[in-house]
Chains A and B, each alone.
Chain A
């Protein structure tokens, strides 16, 4: 049971990768990539969890109360921002691909030359 969160992260990563590789639609592919990326959020937050720890926010909470690691939470924030940036670029590329080839199916785009 105490390894479940790690297993969830591993599962999200694998499922996302499977989705990316078998995707028939570039927009679906972008969403699968966010699933893969979500595994890193789960992993980061899991690594920083302290048993019975509270959120690392000390407004109205006595200093020294057990709290989880704020570093990985800040890293998760960066992770989310990177995810948004990457998805936006992929969607823009998908729009471009659709304009040039008239399809968003990666297999059929590969057949279009030029």
Chain B
């Protein structure tokens, strides 16, 4: 199909879709005119019932906890897929190898400070996820981002442990498996799968919300490690394992 023909087919299709969108939007309630009951109900019941002051995380890890388990496995499946797709390639000879050394001390210093700061922010987002804004998913991504900064500003050697899948895999397992085990623990104690175990604790403190805290931590770990694994797989395909000058220094 030529490019011209493709655009010729695409333009009327998009125009038609735009028309349908306009029709649909005209029938929607105006922005801010919320009709559904669930938002109001959850905002009323999650804090008294689960003692989790972040209702979004209370919803994610308790009210729809089983969905979130599936969500974790979507990420897991993606890591698996990327690993399988690129494995072949990594062994089939690398395409282009570039040595890259960062020479600026100022950038290195700033980077190291940002790695520390990023790790702290990430840990805080995960740890207090069910109390204040944050949670395992965004926190996990910030943690992974902070560690990736180490790759940007440090040498390959500094980053080496974080691209070794044999080091990372067990943590991914603990993250994804911990979620399921918490669900099964509820089953074992005679409650429905993923029912909230433990006492609900003092609202607004770290010791609150029962299982939500554990599920939140497990998700944080799984997400952070999944990001690192994805990055490691892409890195493995295009960059040399260890540069001699790094190995020696």
Contact = CB atoms under 8 A, between A and B. Distances in A.
B98 interface: no
A53 B67 CA distance: 26
Interface in A32-63: 46-53, 55-60, 63
Interface residues of B, number: 60
Instruction: Name, among A56, A93, A95, the residue most crowded by chain B CB atoms within 10 Å (CB to CB).
Output: A56
B14 interface: yes
A85 B54 CA distance: 26
Given A59-B54, A74-B64, A10 B22 contact: yes
Interface stretch (B81-89, B151-159, B177-185): B81-89
Interface string B66-107: 011001001101110110011001001001000000000000
Given A57-B132, A63-B47, A74-B64, A2 B32 contact: yes
Contact of B25 (A10, A17, A69, A84): A10
Q: Is the interface of A mostly helix, strand, loop or mixed?
A: helix
B131 interface: yes
Interface of B is mostly: helix
B78 A99 contact: no
Interface of A: 2-7, 10, 13-14, 17-18, 21-22, 46-53, 55-60, 63-64, 67-74, 77-78, 80-82, 84-86, 88-89, 91-93, 95-96, 99, 107
The 9 tightest CB contacts between A and B, nearest first, are A69-B39, A85-B78, A51-B32, A10-B21, A2-B30, A56-B55, A59-B53, A50-B34, A92-B85
